[in-house]
Amino acid sequence: MSARSKLYLLALALSGCSSMAPPLKLPVLPVAANFPGQPAGAAGIAPAAMPEWQKFFGDERLRQLITLALQNNRDLKLAVLNIEQARGQLDLRRADQLPTVNAGVTWARQPPTATTLASVYSAGVLVSAFELDLFGRVRSLADAALAQYLATEEARKAVQISLLATVANSYFALQGDEELLRVTRHTLVTREDSYRLIKLRFDNGASSQIDLRQAESLLESARVTLAQATRQRALDENALVLLVGQALPAACSAGPLSGVGALPDLPVGLASEVLLRRPDVRQAEQQLIAANASIGAARAAFFPRISLTGSLGSASTELDGLFSGGLNAWSFTPQLLQPIFDAGRNQTNLKLSELSRDIAVAQYERAIQSAFREVADALAGRATLGEQLRAQQAQLLAEQDRYRLAELRYRSGAASYLDALDAQRSLFAAQQAQLQLQTQYLQNLVTLYRVLGGGWTADAQPR
């Protein structure tokens, strides 16, 4: 075995100690065992796995937009770059656990006697200031770097899940805009026809000026709604373009909201432990692990630090005899440093490390509480939006029938135009409310899918 191999194995043997970090015990979940409205026995039910996003979203155009977003979105690319940066920091900390061996050639002029100078050439392998990690300082730093790396991995997953949900919600909003524009244009045509009819009746003395002004007011109101809906559609499309990272392909343009297929239902009866699989909660957990490992490094700073410097090679007073007739030369210089007075630096550093750990605990608990509220809000939406949408659809059918009857009564002279105008106004309001609720219902399902940790798959990483 070569001298270099022996030195390497010696370093591994001497540095293989345990960390001085305190044992880490995650705090008890600072939330209720069950979500509001969920059965009390849900705590014993194993949470079902979320379906992959390719299966959850059945709209082919939406799946194409999500694929483009995974490839082009800059927030996701930034998260990937943060992972690479954390991986580099981890590699550096792991490298500190092993000696750095260099090949070196030196030349020195030194006086062999009081009146003459001589040259000394040396060449060999060098190990400079390798720290024997007897108290786990270097290992604790490596453990902290590993946890930070894993935290960035979880952060990337959280960004991806959020991106999927935001693209889907923006797509559904754009579809709602398209449907509202269609309804508004139809309403505008209807009101234009009504206005022309009332204008003709007014010119012939069969209708009052009040009827004419009311018809004109409804007509202009429809034009206002059309302008607002056109503007909102442009804003929602711009938001979707930003998420996708490029212009929307013609094949992926949003169609009417009525063409959206039903999203699959998600499991009910979930215990709050389901929050622990969310990437943002796991990210906070890894950050807590990193902060706890840093305490071990701060504790080890109170103990002696031993470093080794050595070299092995040959030496000669002639350069041409360095590798042929040179003498074997070696040096071994251990160094021990024991902190005596540092103006309280190590003690303060330990306190700061412990405070960082306490902050990380609070952040972990806050992440769980925020996740609990998000899931509770989404579950509340699912419990009420479905029933509200059904009631709104029934109201829309009633308003459609009322408008039809009011128009028939007005044209037959059995009712005033005020009844027809009121029915037309109520119908348009019901149509707008129904579209808004339908969009909210779909977006709530997407939000519930996101807050339960769905949407992450290993094969969906950005390129």
**Higher model confidence: residue 430 or residue 1?**
430
Report the amino acid identity of residue 406: A
Q: How many CB atoms lie within 10 A of CB 221?
A: 15
Distance CA 410, CA 304 (A): 99
- In tens, the pLDDT along 290-317 reads 999 999 988 888 888 888 888 877 777 6
Calculate the average pLDDT of the chain: 82
Integer Cα distance of 235 and 238 in angstroms:
5
Is 45's pLDDT higher than 50? no
- Distance of alpha carbon 308 from alpha carbon 332, whole angstroms: 7
pLDDT at 461 over 50: no
**Per-residue pLDDT tens for 353-391?**
999 999 999 999 999 999 999 999 998 888 899 899 999
- Spatial neighbors of 166 by CB under 8 A, at least 6 apart, are 243
Query: Looking up tokens 């330990």, which residue turns up?
Result: 350
**Same structural domain, 259 and 332:** no
pLDDT tens per residue across span 329-341: 777 778 878 888 8
What's the CA gap between 279 and 295, in Å, rounded? 25
The answer on 68 and 27 residing in a single domain is: yes
Same domain, 310 and 373: no
Which CATH number characterizes residue 107's domain?
2.20.200.10
* Spatial separation of the C-alpha atoms in residues 74 and 63, rounded to whole Å: 19
Please report, for the chain, how many H helices and E strands are present, in that order. 9, 4
pLDDT higher than threshold 80 for residue 208: yes
Longest CA span, the chain: 133
- Asked whether residue 121 falls in the same domain as residue 24, the answer is no
Pair 244, 174: CB distance under 8 Å: no
Say whether both 55 and 10 belong to one domain. Answer: yes
The answer as to whether 224 is a domain residue is no
Q: Are 297 and 312 contained in the same domain?
A: no
Looking at the domain assignment, is residue 247 inside a domain? yes
The confidence score (pLDDT) of residue 116 equals 56
* Lateral strand order in the sheet of 327-337: 101-110, 118-132, 305-316, 327-337
Q: What is the predicted pLDDT for the residue at 164?
A: 92
CATH code of residue 426 = 1.20.1600.10
Select from 289, 15, 3 the least CA-distant residue to 137: 15
Range of the domain at 454: 3-97+136-169+239-303+348-460
Residue 218 in any domain: the answer is no
**454 and 377 share one domain:** yes
Does residue 442 share a domain with residue 315? no
Model pLDDT for residues 148-175, shown as the tens digit of each residue: 999 999 999 999 999 999 999 999 999 9
Whole-number Å distance between alpha carbons of 310 and 11: 12
Q: What is the model's pLDDT at position 463?
A: 39
pTM over 0.85: no
Whether residue 454 sits in one domain with residue 407: yes
Residue 375 sits at the vertex; the CA angle it makes with 282 and 449, to the nearest 5 degrees, is: 80
Residue 46 lies in a domain: yes
